[in-house]
Amino acid sequence: MGNAAARGKSFYDSILPNNSSQQKNNVSLPQPKLSLDQVDLYHELGVSEVSESARKASVLSEYKDICSEILPSFLYVSNLSVARDITRLRELGISHIINCCSKLDDEDDGTSFIRLQLALRDDVEENLTPFLHIVVQFIQSAKQFPKSKVLIHCHQGVSRSCALAIAYLMYATNASHHDSMTIVKQKRAICSPNTAFICQLLEWQHELTLIRSNCMEAKLFRLAPHAAHDANFWLLKPCFHPNSRKHIFSQFDAPNHAEVDSIPLTIGVYCILDTQQATVTIYSSPNCVIPDPQEKARQLLQPILATYFYEKEEVKVNYIQEKVEDHPILERFKTFLRDELYHYDLELEWTQRRRSIKESKGSTQTSSPQFFILEGDHTGNWELISNYDANDLTSDSAAIIMDPETSFLWIGAQCSLAHSKLYEDAKLHCRKYGFNLLIIQHDGSESDAFWSVFERGY
C-alpha cells in the first residue's frame, strides 16, 4: 500500500508493466510490484476503474516472463510459460525442475534437466503434506551438484509453487511459516498459497519443531496412491486421528473399541516411524492388494528419514507380514490399522480401478456386475441374483456386488452378524471369482462409486 508510484497515478496505470524494456533474463525486478492481496485491498477501498478479474490479470501479466529468485543463485519460482522456455532456463543455469502442474507432460522433452513431476491441484482438497519430505529432499539433493539451480513452477507461480518454496525455506533456514512467507512474497509479490495450503504449512511448521526438539512420538503412515487422477503416484500419507487433523502418535487414546472392533483390519500397508528408537516398522497385510508393497514403502521412507534424521543415524527397518498380535508395536497401533478410519479402502480402489481399465484395453467385451445376497442369519450362504434392483438391499441382510473395477460388501443397518466375520466371509467368496479388493458400504451412507456399479447391473 505504501507505494508512491501507486499513489501518484491511477490504479490501473500503477499495475501495468512499465513501457521501458526489461532484460529478458532478469530473475526478479528491483522495483516494488503490486501483490494479489493488494489488488483485493484496493477493491475493498473502492478503487474500481476496472473489473476485479482485469486487475488481477494485470498483476499476473507483470510476472508472465519473470523467474523469481527466492534464494540467491539457487532456488527460483516461475509460471508454466517460463518453465517451458528451455533456452531461458539454460541461460539462467537451471539444472533441477519441480513441476507442480496437475496436468503433466508425459513425453520426455530430451533435455538434461533433472525433474520431479507432481500432479498437484490448486484446490482445498489437495494435501501437500505427504509431498513435503519428497520436495525438500529433492532440493537438498541438488546441492550435491556444483552450481546447481532449482526451479519450482506451477501454472501461474502463485499458489502451489510458492507453497513448496515456503516449505523448503522453513526446513532449510529454520524460519517460521510467517517469516518464510514474507521472504517469498518479497521476492515474488504475487505469492498467494490457497487457504488449505497455508493450514498444511502451519502443520509442517509444527512437525519441524517436534523433529528439531527430538520430541516426536512414534508416527503412523499408510502407503496409498496420491489421488484418483494420479493413482500411479504412491505416497506415505500420515494418518490423522479420526475426525480431526491431529497426527496419530502412540500417546493418543485409541477410538472407542466398540466402534472399531467391527471394522476389519487393513488390506494395505502401514508404516510406524519411531524416532526415539530409530526404527521403522513396515506392516504389510497378509491380504495386501498393493503390488511390491515393501519396496514401495522402503523407497518412500528415504526422504522422510532424511528429514527426520539430520545426522546420518542408522535406522533399523523391520518388515512384518504376520498377525498383528504377535508384535508389541503393532499391537499398540492395532486399533488404528483399520482402513475405513482414513478412507484408505477408497484410496486403494483408485489403483484397482486403474489396473482393471488397463487390463481391459483392447477388449470389446463388458460384463455386468454380479450380485449376491446373504441368505439366512449366518455367513457362508451367498445366493446369486440374476435380476436385481434396490429392493433386494434389505436392512436386515448383507449383499456382495462384484465388478471388474471393484467389489463391494453392502451391510444393512439391522444386520445382526459381526461385521468383521461378515467381511472375512465375503472376502473368501470374492476370491472364488478372482476378486481381491472388497470395499465395505453401510446402509444409508453408500458412495457414488457403489451406486454407479450397482445400477450398471440393472
Report the pLDDT averaged over residues 89-93. 96
- Which class for 146: exposed (0-12), middle (13-18), buried (19 or more C-beta within 10 A)? exposed
Residue 21 amino acid letter: S
> Would you place residue 385 in the very low, low, confident or very high pLDDT band (cuts 50, 70, 90)?
confident
In the structure, what pLDDT confidence band is assigned to residue 247 with cuts at 50, 70 and 90?
Answer: low
For residue 186, the model assigns a pLDDT of 96
- pLDDT, one tens digit per residue, over 163-199 is 999 999 999 999 999 999 999 999 999 999 999 999 9
Q: Quick: pLDDT tens for 352-366.
A: 655 544 444 444 344
User: In this predicted model, what pLDDT tens digit does every residue of 399-425 receive, in sequence order?
Assistant: 999 887 678 899 888 888 888 888 888
CATH code 3.40.20.10 region(s) in the chain: 216-346, 369-456
What is the pLDDT at residue 116? 95
**Element at 185 (helix H, strand E):** helix 177-187
What CATH number has the domain spanning 216-346?
3.40.20.10
Single-letter code of the amino acid located at 305: L
Helix (H, G, I), strand (E, B) or coil at 194: coil
Catalytic residue status for 239: no
Residue reference for cell 480431526: 244
**What CA–CA distance (Å, rounded) separates 131 from 307?**
12
Q: What whole-number distance in Å separates Cα of residue 361 and Cα of residue 356?
A: 9
Which position among 101, 154, 162, 430 bears the catalytic label? 154
Q: What is the DSSP letter of 188?
A: -
Among the four given CATH numbers 3.10.290.10, 3.10.20.30, 3.40.20.10, 3.40.50.10490, the one describing domain 369-456: 3.40.20.10
Q: Which amino acid is at 100?
A: C
How much helix, strand and coil, in percent to the nearest 5, is found in the chain?
Answer: 40, 20, 45
DSSP conformational letter for 408: E
Q: Count H helices and E strands in the chain, helices first.
A: 16, 15
Burial class (CB in 10 A: 0-12, 13-18, 19+), 49: exposed
For 216-263, where are the E strands, in sequence order? 219-227, 230-238
Using CA atoms, how far apart are residues 351 and 293, in angstroms rounded to an integer? 13
Neighbour tally for 86: CB within 10 Å: 13
Residue 387 DSSP code: S
Q: Enter the C-alpha cell of residue 444.
A: 444409508
164 secondary structure, DSSP code: H
Domain with CATH 3.90.190.10 in the chain: 63-203
Query: How many other C-beta atoms are found inside a 10 Å radius of the C-beta of residue 329?
Result: 18
Question: Of all residues in the chain, what percent carry a pLDDT higher than 90?
Answer: 34
User: pLDDT at position 299, please?
Assistant: 93
256-304 pLDDT, tens digit per residue, is 555 555 567 788 898 989 888 888 989 888 888 888 898 999 999 999 9
* CATH H-level superfamily of 63-203: Protein tyrosine phosphatase superfamily (3.90.190.10)
pLDDT at 364: 37
Task: Write out pLDDT tens, residues 23-45.
Answer: 334 454 444 555 555 545 444 44
C-alpha cell at 165: 518454496
Q: Which residues pair with 283 in a beta bridge?
A: 270, 320
Kindly tell me if the per-residue pLDDT of 143 is higher than 60: yes
Q: What is the mean pLDDT of the chain?
A: 78
